[in-house]
Structure 1
């Protein structure tokens, strides 16, 4: 969700970073890494910033939730990766519907995003990774 912050600045991901600090010419301006183990996921300039809504399983499971639908998060800010071989480090889940979830290949934390089996594009949630 984007919110106005000031003169032309808009927050992205989890709201603590402005788009201007992360995006240059539509691509990631900085390296992207796992927020848990610091493993590099993508190098700078390798993916496009896109806004599309997708529901991902929550990073932290809430065992008190009575409905499994309560353990999800709607995410809108993503890095779009055209080719899976662009990743420095990423793991893929088993197929779920028409997608696979993405996780850190080193620590298995995630999902950090999803991969479309139809378009062959991958989407990494800005709020679920660290930007350097």
Structure 2
């Protein structure tokens, strides 16, 4: 499946990316607030990927279970696993390793497709994370 870098700021994400397409804010777990990626460390890309709905980490490692999935199209992408501040990985399930929050184990928040021919990339779903420091429109 092809990966396409977002050339312009996508609707709903206009305040989340720099002119170079990197994240303006820290990317965090929506449950516990732990930082997953520091600001300016990931590129916003568009790619269609079906990811299981939130489940326990132990359930994701069992390929015999069927999970309902969400089709997600926007991801923060990094090419080095050491870029992450706080992330856990499941065992491979059909060449996919799912990413979880290492503190509260919420997941999957993203994935790694081990069958990709290009250099390894790790994808964190924009819709499954929050952004620390993002203005909510409230005055502070």
Q: Decide: shared fold, TM above 0.5.
A: yes
TM-score, normalising length: structure 1: 0.78
Query: What TM-score comes out, normalization by structure 2 length?
Result: 0.74
How do residues 62-73 of structure 1 correspond to structure 2 at under 5 angstroms?
68=66, 71-73=68-70
Q: Count residues in correspondence.
A: 113
CA contact (8 A) 2:81 2:122 kept: yes
Distance 1:123 1:86 in 2: 12
Question: RMSD value over aligned CA atoms?
Answer: 2.1
- Whether the aligned pair in 1 keeps the contact of 2:28 and 2:34 (CA below 8 Å) is yes
- 1:100 pairs with one of 97, 100, 111: 97
Q: Distance in 2 between matches of 1:10 and 1:50?
A: 10
Structure 1 residue 116 displacement after superposition? 2.2
From the superposition, tell whether residues 108 and 21 of structure 1 become closer, same or farther in structure 2 (CA, over 3 Å): same
User: Which segments of 5 or more consecutive residues in structure 2 lack a partner in the other structure?
Assistant: 1-7, 57-65, 133-140
Structure 1 alignment gaps of length 5 or more: 1-7, 12-17, 62-67
2:87 corresponding residue in structure 1: 90
